Chain A
Amino acid sequence: MQTYTAPLRDMRFVLHELHGATADNAEFPPELLDSILEEAAKFCTEVLLPLNASGDEEGCHFENGVVRTPAGFKDAYKAFSEAGWGALNADPQYGGQGLPESVAKLVEEMICACNLSFGLYPGLSHGAYLALKSHGAEALKDFYLPKLVSGEWAGTMCLTEPHCGTDLGMLRTKAVPQEDGSYKLTGSKIFISAGEHDFTDNIVHLVLARLPDAPPGIKGISLFLVPKFLPDAEGKPGARNGVSCAAIEHKMGIKASATCQMNFDDATGWLVGTPHKGMQAMFVMMNSERLSVGTQGLGLGEAAYQGAVAYARERVQGRSLAGAKAQDKPADPIIVHPDVRRMLLTMRAYNEGCRAMGVWVAQALDAAERGDEAAADFVALMTPIVKALFTDLGFESTNLGVQCYGGHGYIRDHGMEQFVRDARIAMIYEGTNGIQALDLIGRKLPANFGRSLRRFFHPVAEFIEAHQADARIGKLVQGFARAFGALQLATSFVAEKGMTDPEEAGAAATDYLRLFGLVAMGFMWVRMALIAAEKAPQGGPDAEFYTAKLNTARFYVERILPQAGALLFTIKAGKAPLMDMAEAAF
C-alpha cells in the first residue's frame, strides 16, 4: 500500500528560510501560506492518494466515444474544484486566488506524489487557461476563463498529430474562416490528455491548426479554441460541436489519465491571438507547464523515497556488516547497509534539491510576470533544465525505490512499480528531455550573447568567493566550486565548438544539461547547508532537521556532484564517437 506524508517542514524551509517567499509579497504572510500547504496536504493524502493504486488498476474506460474515469475520480474532481485548488495561482480577475507560483508548485508536488493521473486533468485546464489568458480576445477570456478557473469546465492542449510530435511545423489540421468570424477545424490529434472524460459538462480544447493562407512550417500555425459543446445563448453547453474522441491509448503508466485520439470534423472554433502566431501563444504556457512537468518527477521521487524509507526500516534481513545492530530481532533492518543508505540518500538529495530549485525558479516566474527582465532571462534558462533534470532524477528515484524493496518492489502490492511506470512519461511529454537539452544549448545559452548565463554564473561565483573559507561549510563549497569549474569549462567548450558545428552542440546537449542541472542543484545545496550550519547548533526541536539537512548536503556534494567531472570528459569527447559510426552499421 502506498503511503505519503507531505514534507511540510522541508517545504516551509525552502519557501521561507531559503527563498524568503514572502519578502517581496507581504500580501501573503507565511502563516497563510503554511495553512494553505497544510490543507492541501490533507486533501491530497485523504482524497487523492487512496485513488492512486485503484485508478492505476482500473484505468479509464472507453465506449462509443465516451470516456469513463476510474471509480472515485469524478467525485474527487468535484471535491477538488469545490475546494478551489484549481484556482490557486489563477488571476483574481477570473476567480483565481492569485497566489505565488512557488506555492502552486509545492501544492502540485503533493498532488503528483499522491496521484499523478488525477493531477493531469486540472493541470491541462491550467495550461489552457494560461494560453488563453495571455493571447485570447477579451470576450473569449471573459467567457471561458472563469469556467476554467473554477473547474466547472475543463481544458486541453491539442498539439500532437499522428505524423508530428516534436516537429509541429509539419502539422496538418486545417482551419477555414467563416463569415461570422469563427473558423471550421478539420483534422486529427493524438496523445491528448484529458481530451474526453466525465468530470465536467464541457471541455475547452485549445488546438493548433493551419489557416488556408498559412506559410509552410512552424511559422504558419495558429491557435484556436474549440469547445466540445457550443455555448448556447445563456452560456450553457448547447449543441455538440464537431469534435469527438476516437479512442484512448493503452499505456505504460498514468493509466487513470485519459490519453485521447481526437477528431475534429468541421468543428467550430475561434482564433486565439494573431493568425500564424500560434506557437508564440503556446510558448507562454509552456514555461509554466514545463516547470509543472518537472514537478511531477519530484512528486513521484518523494513518494518513492518515503515508501523506500518505510520499508528499509521495517524489513529485517541479514546482519549489519559492522556486527548485529538489532539484537532482539532475527536480523537487522536493511537500513543498516551502506548500499541501502546510498539509495535512500540519493533519492533524498535529489528530492530536496529539486524542491529548492523548483521554488527558486517559480519565484522568478512570478517576478518575470511582474516585468522583471533579469528574472525572465533566468526562467528561460532554467526551464529546460528543470523539466529534464527533475524528470530524469524523478525516474531514477522511483527506480531506486523499487530496488530498495527487491522483489517486493517489482510486484504490484506495494505500489512501488507504479511510480516507475507513472514517472516514465514525464521524460517524454511537453518536449522530450533530448529536446530540452537542445533548447538549452541551442537557444538559451546563446540568447542575448549569454546574458542569461551570466545571470546564473555571477551569483554562484560570488557565493563561492564569500564562503569557500567558511569554517563550517567551506569544504562543501570547495567541492561545489570544482563542479562549477567543470561547468564553466564545458560551457566554453560547447560555445566554441557548437558555434562552428551544430552537431557538436547536439552531441554535448544532454550531458551538458545534466552537468548544468547538477551544478544548479549543488548551488541550492550549499546555500541550504549554510542556513542549516547556522541553525543546527542552536538546538531546539528543529536541530534534527538541520543536522539531517547538513548530512544530505554533504552526501550530495561528496557523492553525487563528482559526476560533474565525468560529464565534462564526456562532453569534451565531442561528436566523433557518435557520428563516426556508419548508419548502416546500427
Chain B
Amino acid sequence: MKLLVAVKRVVDYNVKVRVKSDKTGVETAGVKMSMNPFDEIAVEEAVRLKEKGVASEIVAVSIGVSQAQETIRTALAMGADRGVLVETDVAVEPLAVAKVLKALAEKEGAQIVVLGKQAIDDDMNATGQMLAALLGWPQGTFASKVEIADGTATVTREIDGGLETVALALPAVITADLRLNEPRYASLPNIMKARKKSIDMLKPEDLGVDVTPRLTTLSVSEPPVRKAGIKVPDVATLIEKLRNEAKVI
C-alpha cells in the first residue's frame, strides 16, 4: 500500500516571528525554516505504518519554493522512501495545495494521504478536509491513534470534550494531531542515505493545477501589546471598575 505524506516548510517553531515593516506578511528572509511540527508527526506515523508492514512505500510531498527540498530531505531521513516537490514561488493556499495533492494521490495510486492537521504558520486547518472532499474519500482528522486492517482505517479523533473513533474505508485522508506519536530523531546513517533518495521535481502546471491565490491579504500586524495592570485600593473600586470600565459585571 502506498502512502502519501504532505510536508510543509514553515518558520521554525522556536523563532519569534516578526511582522514585515510593510505589513504584507511575516519576515521569512534569513529566518530558520523547518518542517511543520504536525507534519513531522504525520511522517512518523507513515514510517510506523511501514515498519508494521502496512505500507509498502512512503512518498513525501511538498508544495512550495525550491528550498522545500530540504524539508523533504528531513522526511526522507526519518524514513520516507522518495520525495516529490511541486515547485512554485506562489504562497499557496489550502485549496491549491489540496488540488495538487489530489492530482498526486491519483497519479501515485496512494491509498492513504497523511497530513498534519494544520501548519503552524497560517493555522488554516483546511487542507486535509478539502483534499478529502475533492477526492471523495473519507477523512479522519485530528488523529490521536490510527490502526489499519482489512481495508479499514480506524482513527481515534481528538474532539471537543473527548475522543471519537471513526472507521474509514480506504482510500482515506488522515490528519495528525499532537498526541498521535512522538516523532523520532533522524539517525546519522539515515540522514546520509536521504541524500541518495530521489526527489521528483514538478510544477503545478504539470499536474494541471492553478495555484493562483484566491485570498487577498489586506494587512498583517502584531497582536496589540498587553497593557500593564493597575492596583486598586479596595474591593469597592474593583467592582466599580469591573462594572463601569470593563463592563463585565
Q: Which A residues have a C-beta under 8 Å from some C-beta of B?
A: 5, 8, 29, 31-32, 35-36, 39, 42-43, 46-47, 79, 82-85, 87-88, 97, 540-542, 544-545
Q: Is B24 close to A, CB under 8 A? A: no
Ordered by A's residue number, 5 sampled pairs between the chains whose C-beta atoms are within 8 Å are A39-B186, A79-B185, A83-B186, A83-B188, A84-B187
Inter-chain pairs besides A31-B73, A84-B187, A542-B30, 12 sampled, C-beta below 8 Å? A32-B192, A35-B191, A35-B194, A36-B191, A39-B186, A39-B191, A42-B185, A46-B185, A83-B185, A83-B186, A84-B188, A540-B29
**Given known A-B contacts A5-B14, A540-B30, A35 and B74 have beta carbons under 8 A apart:** yes
Beyond A5-B14, A32-B195, A35-B74, whether A541 also contacts B186 by CB under 8 A is no
Contact with A along B67-102 (1 / 0, CB 8 A): 000100110010000000000000000000000000
**In the complex, A88→B194 CA distance in Å?**
16
B31 → chain A closest CB, angstroms: 8
Segment 175-233 of B: residues with Cβ below 8 Å from A: 185-189, 191-192, 194-195
Q: Tell me which residues across on chain A come within 8 A of B77, comparing CB atoms.
A: 35, 39
Q: Roughly how many angstroms separate A35 CA and B73 CA in the complex, as a whole number? A: 9
Q: Size of chain B's interface in residues, with CB distance under 8 A? A: 18
**Chain B's nearest CB lies how many Å from the CB of A46?**
8
A35 x B188 contact (CB < 8 A): no
Check A97–B73 contact: CB distance below 8 A. no
Q: Which residues of B contact A36 (CB under 8 A)?
A: 188, 191
Closest residue of chain A to B192, judged by CB?
Answer: A97
Q: Give the distance in Å from the alpha carbon of A79 to the alpha carbon of B185 in the complex.
A: 9
Bound complex: CA A79 to CA B187 (Å): 9
CA of A450 to CA of B36 in the docked complex: distance in angstroms? 56
Q: In the assembly, what is the distance between CA of A411 and CA of B188, in Å? A: 38
Which residues of chain A come closer than 8 Å to B32, judged between CB atoms? 8
Q: Provided the pairs A29-B195, A540-B30, A544-B30 are in contact, do residues A97 and B70 lie with their beta carbons within 8 angstroms?
A: no
Give B162-186 as 1s and 0s: 1 = Cβ < 8 Å from A's Cβ atoms: 0000000000000000000000011
With the chains together, A36 CA to B194 CA distance in Å?
A: 11
Tell me, rounded to whole Å, the shortest Cβ–Cβ distance linking A197 to chain B.
22
B14 to chain A: which residues have CB within 8 Å?
Answer: 5
Q: Which residue from chain A places its CB closest to the CB of B184 in the assembled complex?
A: A83
Known contacts A5-B14, A29-B195; A82/B187 CB under 8 A: yes
Rounded to whole angstroms, the CA-CA distance of A541 and B192 in the bound complex is 29
- Whether A85 and B188, one on each chain, are in contact in the complex, defined by CB atoms closer than 8 angstroms, is yes
A84/B189 in contact, CB under 8 A: yes
How many Å from the CB of A168 to the closest CB on chain B? 35
Please indicate the chain A residues that have their CB under 8 angstroms from the CB of B195 in the complex.
29, 31-32
Chain B residues with Cβ below 8 Å from A42 are: 185
A35, A42, A47, A542: which has the most chain B beta carbons within 10 Å?
A35
